[in-house]
Structures are given as structure tokens and as C-alpha cells.
Chain A
Amino acid sequence: MNSFLDYVLKLNDIDQTRSVLDGHPIPIEYDKLTKAYKLRNDIAHEIKPVKISKIMVIALWDNFMNILDISQTVLLSASDRELRCSLNSDYLKSKDRARRIAAYKFYSDIIMSKLMENDGMTRNTSKYQQQIKAVKCLVIKI
């Protein structure tokens, strides 16, 4: 296990709407959690005047409930081999999906810039063919 939180996060990404009846998906956002932790320290230890929005508190609670639910399953899997296998396979699936999404994001800009270069070029020129080849290579890489 690389990082417990990463494991929980990836398992949550498999189905972000599992606890939602009629609403948007709930991702676990690490940044929001760390920000909220700092806020909690400012309130509890420093008595600093802090700005907290209603949305922020609700997001924190959603994050917490997700972490709680998944962590409970992960901790139960310590003594249940079948559950552990199923969680590991879900984790790998989610990890692969995250990798693919990142690759699409990374290559989409390059592909767009290549396509923009074609602007005003006729399809028969060799330069155009070369650029189309380069774009195809990028797509295959993804």
C-alpha cells in the first residue's frame, strides 16, 4: 500500500455517487482536508478569527463520511482475504483510470496544438501528412 489516503481516494473514485440519492458525485479532496485541518488548529489552539463558509463545512463533512465508510471496509479487509482481493482489484482499476485521464489531459493540449498548426494547409502536402502521423502516434500512446 503506497499511501493509505491514496488507496481510500482511488476506491472512492470507483463510484463517487454511492452515498448520494439525488445530487452531485462526492470526490475526496485532499487539499480541502489539509486546509480544514489547518483551520481546525487555528480555531482550537490559536483562537484566531477564521472565515468558514457553509459550503466548506458541508464539503468537509462529505469528505469525512466518505473516508470513514471506505476506511472501515479497508480495515475490515485486514482479516478478510476475499474482501482484500476485491478492494485491491478496484484500486488497480481506479489507478489505471486515473492514469488514463491524466494522459488524455496531457496529450490533448499537444494534439490540439498539432491540429492548429494544420490551419490553412491543404490535405495533400507532405507536411500535413507528417503532422497527422504525429497525432496518430500520440493517440496510440494514450
Chain B
Amino acid sequence: MRDRYFYWIYSLKLVNIIKLYIKVLKNNKGVKTNNKLMADLPREPRIDIKKNQSSLEPFKQVRGFYDCEIDPLFRLLLEDPLSNSLMHSLRKYLVIIIFAALDYFFRNAVRKLIDDNDLNVVPLFPPNSQKKLDRLVRECATTKGNIVASTYRFVDIHELTLYFQTSYK
């Protein structure tokens, strides 16, 4: 009798868990993703002052950065003249700077691509965002490319893929 009672309690709990899971799935139906960080996509358009400075030649700039700053560090890494702790810190720094360069390049390249070719960016934002987009462009005296560059995080390889998938559909 007691076993049956526990069985019913557990099956009820299981049903509740399944219901909760279905609810979560319904709420997140906008974007199919298995990445926790991307659960808030598509994001509302916004302007980020830190990401507002544009570069006309992001590729040249990143290549220049590589020649001046990354290449010597890689030489140091290969030569192995440093202590273990310093070497570990150097590796950590390189991982971070590589992703920072990736973010910088794609943010600026995408901004340039959108503004130069006057691409339609509406599919990148939630439905009915056209008004907000127009308002941002007008009030902040900015461009569509700047808004996309501020809204998306190009450091994330999944988000980058999603951006191109949505915009080239």
C-alpha cells in the first residue's frame, strides 16, 4: 500500500516536470539552440556606446595587431624561456586576446557589410521591431549596422553562426 502511494507521488512529480519542460520549450520556441547563453535571442535592438566606434578596415587592423602584438608572444611561447606560472598566464592571455580579435573583426566587418549594402536587418530582431529600429536610428543618429553590432555578441561562435544563418536566409 505504501509503495503504491509513493509510486503515485513520483508519477505526479514526473508529470509536473514534463509540463514544466514543455512550458520552457514553448517560451523558447523563437530560436532553436542548445546554448544557454543564447536563450535570450532574438534580442531587442539596442545601442552600446562601447561598441559604437567603427573601423573601416577591420581585417587590416587585426592583421596589423597580429604582427605587432601576437606574433612576438607566440615566439615567446615557442621558445619556452619563461617560468611555468608566467607561461600559463601567457597562454590564458592569448586565448582571451584571440577571441577579442575575433569579436572585433566580425563586429566591424558585419557593421560595414550592412551599412555598405543597405541590408535588411529586421529578421535579426523580434517581430514588430521595425519601429524601435527606426527610432534608434533617428534618435541616436546611428546606422543599422551599429545597432546589429551592439546587439549581437560576435565573440560567441554559435551566435555568429546564428547571425549569418538569419541574415542570409
Residues of B contacting A58 in the complex (Cβ-Cβ under 8 angstroms): 74, 77
Most buried by B among A2, A3, A37: A37
- Once the chains bind, are B117 and A78 in contact (CB under 8 Å)? yes
A67 to B160, CA, bound (A): 12
SS class, residues of chain A in contact with chain B: helix
Report the contact-size class of chain B (Cβ under 8 Å from the partner). Answer: 35 or more
B98 closest partner in A (C-beta): A64
Bound complex: CA A61 to CA B94 (Å): 9
Contact with B along A64-82 (1 / 0, CB 8 A): 1101100110010011000
Which positions in B face A, CB cutoff 8 Å? Answer: 59, 62-63, 66, 70, 74, 77-78, 88, 91-92, 94-96, 98-99, 101-102, 105-106, 109, 112-113, 116-117, 155-158, 160-161, 163-165, 168
A residues adjacent to B (C-beta < 8 A): 1-5, 30, 33-34, 36-37, 39-40, 43-44, 50, 52-54, 56-58, 60-61, 64-65, 67-68, 71-72, 75, 78-79
The 6 closest A-B pairs by CB, nearest first: A4-B164, A1-B168, A52-B91, A72-B59, A40-B99, A5-B161
